Structure 1
Amino acid sequence: MTDAQHNRREAFKIFASIIRVLLLVAILDFAIGSVLDRMYMNQKSGLESDTTYAINEADEDVIIIGSSRANHHYVPEIVSKELGMSVFNAGRDGQFTFYYEALISSILDRYNPKLIILELNSLELLYSQESYDRIAALHPYYKESDRIKRIVELRSPFEKYKMYSKIYPYNGAFLTILQNSLINKKSGDGYKPIFRTMENPEMKSMEVKNKKFDENQLSSFKRIVEMCENKVQLVIVTSPALVVGDDQRKYDKLLELSNELGVIYYDFAYSDHYMENLQLFADELHLNDEGARIFTQDLVEKMKKDKRIEF
């Protein structure tokens, strides 16, 4: 055997070894990813199960959507009793407009609720890397629709390539998936009460003067309004908080957009009723259970008096 033949044979062996390793990795990725996907989609408790339910199964008359300020502030039991409708709270901690758009589009693809309440404030529309990082919550639903694909791919230029991996959508979520699978207890109506009172409550200022509004999030909000038009009554709400931006003009952006787009918007952010009763807060951004129940009742009463809303 000549040196050239020997070198070719060795090169072939190395190439074959690389192919075998890649094939093994692909098989393991598919097998493990498939198991994780099945476990994830079958969770019966936790925020992830609420998302899956909202996207694939929810059929309630009223859907509440937003961040942790939604799942901690809106009590479905009260809304249901006052309006005589079924209600689900699909709020999820740490989310932004991209997530809300994905949920609302998925829901409207299946059916038209009578009412969607969207918890939102102007500060959420400012640019932040966090708003893009949190898109990861939609990874398991990447193939659900073209709209979700588009939203997920906003996270990075390489996201669509990463999604070829079946394990990638569940990175860092194994223990959560396992825990929620073992609990096997349904999350109920989605409300997550906080049973504590804030110590030494006071208004806090958030620096926003040097921050700009995110054009992607502004576009996402406008698409939400367009999707709901002629399909479902949409009500935008900013619930009470003890945090305010240091540039009031930025904080009024949501009011400006709502007027421009002709959508109903209620701003409870600086309601005297809450500012004078700080024991209703669990922290600067969240009401406790007592505060949430009072706020939900106030919101329902306001909606019932609003002639623009047809129940």
Structure 2
Amino acid sequence: MKKFLLFTLKTLIFTIVIAVALDFIYTAIYLQSSNRGKVDHVYNSKKENFDVVILGSSRANNHFVAQMFEDKGLKTFNYGMSGGHLFEADLLLKLMLERHYKIKNVILEADLNLSNKRRDYGISSKFLPYLHQSETVKKHFSNEDDFLEMYYIPFYRYIKFDERIGFREFYNTTLKKSTNVLNHQGYYPLINRKGNMKNNIVNLKPLLHNQYYEEIKQICKDNNINFIAVMTPMCENTKGIEYFNKVQKLYPEIHNYENVVVEDKYFSSCGHLNDTGARLFTARILKDFFSK
């Protein structure tokens, strides 16, 4: 029995040592990465200056052509993240300020994600390598149900989110393999192929108080950043399109651009403009908010 207990204790100690070592190695590699995605790009940068920063989900990532802002003399980057929620947009903005970014304008795509205050399982995991290094990341995750195990159990977060920050991503990061995420100042153009051109958002209801939206708005106010919140286009064959009117009643400061681009030929799928549509939409935003 003593031999068994001793063996068990040694195995446990060995496992903990290995977990701590792996946690240290993985984190050290991610702390050197800046070309894999928008989160590591921000975390491992400092003192950037932008005229315009764009935040949101894929409906920001695919809808705002950053180069068109640049052509107007506005230094711009599209930090929209496909699949991301306001939880991640809020945290990314906080990280920018932690890194002493100077930002004049924030454009936030705020429409469908106003209906929830959850984090996205995949996108949020991109912040987790910095959980112990950044007080901002730690505080932002501190109220999540799985925070304690992610923070205190070594290597747990890398195992739990293996498909996002596990071995494959660690390997590619080690080799400094870049992705196309940072191309075109963060804007991701969609080709003209047609995806699903019908959508049903009948069951979506904007929250009366979305914590992360309110935090973004307050952060901009506190840092003298001009805050521009917009709703972006969706195809005509959308059931429950009145959702956008509900948003504007609850949040009258959000500008409704849902019907600025309407023809199906300008969409890649019902919720995402193709590159041609995105350029039409971006031109309208530039005209309304940045024309001299």
Residue matched to 1:205: 200
Q: Distance in 2 between matches of 1:119 and 1:288?
A: 17
Report the alpha carbon displacement of residue 229 of structure 1 after superposing the two structures with TM. Answer: 0.2
Q: Which amino acid letter does the alignment assign opposite residue 155 of structure 2?
A: I
Report the alpha carbon displacement of residue 93 of structure 1 after superposing the two structures with TM. Answer: 1.4
Residue matched to 1:275: 262
Q: Distance in 1 between matches of 2:291 and 2:206?
A: 36
Q: Which amino acid letter does the alignment assign opposite residue 302 of structure 1?
A: D
Match of 1:191 among 187, 190, 195: 187
Report the alpha carbon displacement of residue 132 of structure 1 after superposing the two structures with TM. Answer: 6.1
Alpha carbons of 1:296 and 1:19: their partners in 2 closer, same or farther (altered >3 Å)?
same
Report the alpha carbon displacement of residue 137 of structure 1 after superposing the two structures with TM. Answer: 3.4
Q: Over aligned residues, Cα RMSD in angstroms?
A: 2.9
Q: Which amino acid letter does the alignment assign opposite residue 238 of structure 1?
A: M
Matched pairs, number? 279
Which structure features the higher share of helix residues?
A: 1
Q: Which moved more, 1:233-242 or 1:184-193?
A: 184-193
Report the alpha carbon displacement of residue 206 of structure 1 after superposing the two structures with TM. Answer: 1.8
Give deviations 1:4-33, integer Å, cap 9, x for gaps.
xxxxxx33x333322221221112112222
Residue matched to 2:102: 112
Q: Distance in 1 between matches of 2:248 and 2:16?
A: 50
Q: Residue 32 in 1 paired to residue 11 in 2?
A: no
Q: Distance in 2 between matches of 1:196 and 1:176?
A: 30
Alpha carbons of 1:133 and 1:207: their partners in 2 closer, same or farther (altered >3 Å)?
farther
Scaled by the length of structure 2, what TM-score is found? 0.82
Q: Is the CA contact (8 Å cut-off) linking 1:133 and 1:155 kept in structure 2?
A: no
Q: Is the CA contact (8 Å cut-off) linking 2:31 and 2:44 kept in structure 1?
A: no
Q: Which has the larger radius of gyration?
A: 1
Residue matched to 1:165: 153
Give deviations 1:96-137, integer Å, cap 9, x for gaps.
11111111112123233111111120x312248674675333
Residue matched to 2:171: 178
Q: Residue 80 in 1 paired to residue 63 in 2?
A: no
Q: Which amino acid letter does the alignment assign opposite residue 206 of structure 1?
A: I
Q: Is the CA contact (8 Å cut-off) linking 1:45 and 1:181 kept in structure 2?
A: no
Q: Distance in 2 between matches of 1:175 and 1:132?
A: 18
Give matches, 1:1-311, under 5 Å. Answer: 10-11=1-2, 13-46=3-36, 49-57=37-45, 59-61=48-50, 62-82=52-72, 84-109=73-98, 110-121=100-111, 123-127=112-116, 131=120, 135-156=124-145, 158-170=146-158, 171-172=161-162, 173=165, 174-179=167-172, 181-182=174-175, 184-185=177-178, 187-188=182-183, 189-198=185-194, 202-208=197-203, 213=207, 218-231=210-223, 232-242=225-235, 244=238, 246=240, 248=242, 250-259=243-252, 263=253, 265-271=254-260, 274-276=261-263, 278-305=264-291
Alpha carbons of 1:134 and 1:88: their partners in 2 closer, same or farther (altered >3 Å)?
closer
Identity of aligned residues (%): 22
- Which structure 1 segments of 5+ residues have no match? 1-9, 307-311
